[in-house]
Structure 1
Amino acid sequence: MSSEHPQTPAPASSSETIRAAIDAASTALARADAGVPSAALPLLRIAQEHVTTAIDEAMAAVLVSEGGTIRTAGALAGLSENAVGPRLARTRLLAAYGSDSGRVTAAGVERARYDLEEGRHREAPDQPDQPKPMRFRARRTT
């Protein structure tokens, strides 16, 4: 992507995380029965969460391994540039490079690239207690 940052292979854990999320989404979608929408909805939601994880991890890999920009990664994923930083902060590849405000900035990405090149990349472990993406909740039952 960038001539300034040659492509480096994504860390294996990044590819594994993306693959696992895609597989889990595929499984949930395969189990969803369109003929029974009330039973399909929870499975569709599960698939959506796994696809979101795959997208976030893929954006992180584009930034770190391929030298892309936050704007480019967002555009490839159909997101605005402002939506990318908080999503990157939830990834294994870049969570350790996030700011106190809960987002990954261009400076964090540059540091992650440098650390990866030097063999000192800090990877966040799987965080099962990590907050899920925000969802709409009705205030009233009307």
Structure 2
Amino acid sequence: MSDKKNASIDQARQLLADIPSEALAVVERLGEVRELLDAALNEAMAEATLGGASIRSVAVRAGLSPNSVPPRLARTSQLSSYSEPDGKVSGSSIERARYDSEIGRPPPKAPLTFKPRRSTS
């Protein structure tokens, strides 16, 4: 299990241990827990994908549509550096990540992007 996934699950447990009594506060707390569990789910899906599972099988097990998995994988610590400019992880990117993982090569660094020095407006 990845550290980020475990940290998200532990934080969610802590938040669930003390549920407020006010209804609106409960909604807010459960929203925070959902975000943490989504992050943990994304990390778990990345682990499964790197382990050889297909995007389709990961989506079925997670109860998601297959089209929603690549953007989630692109936000994970393990696959974010393999994401495409459109914010998704492609099949070829996953194959590259699997290969890099097998030979012990670190993930590539994020590409440099243009940032203007001053605003033009």
Evaluate the alpha carbon distance shift between residue 39 and residue 123 of structure 1 in structure 2; reply closer, same or farther with a 3 A threshold.
farther
Residue identity matched to 1:45: G
For residues 73 and 88 of structure 1, the distance between their equivalents in structure 2, rounded to whole angstroms, comes to 11
Q: Is the 8 A contact 1:112 1:121 kept in 2?
A: no
More helix by share: 2
Which residue matches 2:67? 82
Superposed displacement of residue 123, structure 1:
7.2
Q: Secondary structure at the match of 1:104?
A: coil
- Give TM-score scaled by structure 1 length: 0.72
Tell me the C-alpha RMSD between the 2 structures: 1.7
For residues 3 and 109 of structure 2, the distance between their equivalents in structure 1, rounded to whole angstroms, comes to 14
Aligned residue runs from structure 1 range 75-114, under 5 A = 75-114=60-99
Q: Secondary structure at the match of 1:91?
A: coil
Residue identity matched to 2:80: A
Superposed displacement of residue 22, structure 1:
0.5
Residue identity matched to 2:93: G
Which residue matches 2:15? 28
Aligned residue runs from structure 1 range 55-74, under 5 A = 55-64=41-50, 66-74=51-59
Q: Give aligned-pair identity as a percent.
A: 39
Residue identity matched to 1:48: R
Superposed displacement of residue 124, structure 1:
7.6
Q: Moved runs in structure 1, 4+ residues, more than 3 A? A: none
For residues 60 and 78 of structure 2, the distance between their equivalents in structure 1, rounded to whole angstroms, comes to 19
Q: Secondary structure at the match of 1:96?
A: helix
Which residue matches 1:120? 105
Which residue matches 1:40? 26
For residues 80 and 34 of structure 2, the distance between their equivalents in structure 1, rounded to whole angstroms, comes to 21
Superposed displacement of residue 24, structure 1:
0.8
The CA deviation string for residues 27-62 of structure 1, in whole angstroms up to 9 with x for no partner, is: 1122223x4211211111110000000000000000
- Higher alpha-carbon Rg: 2
Q: How many residues align?
A: 110
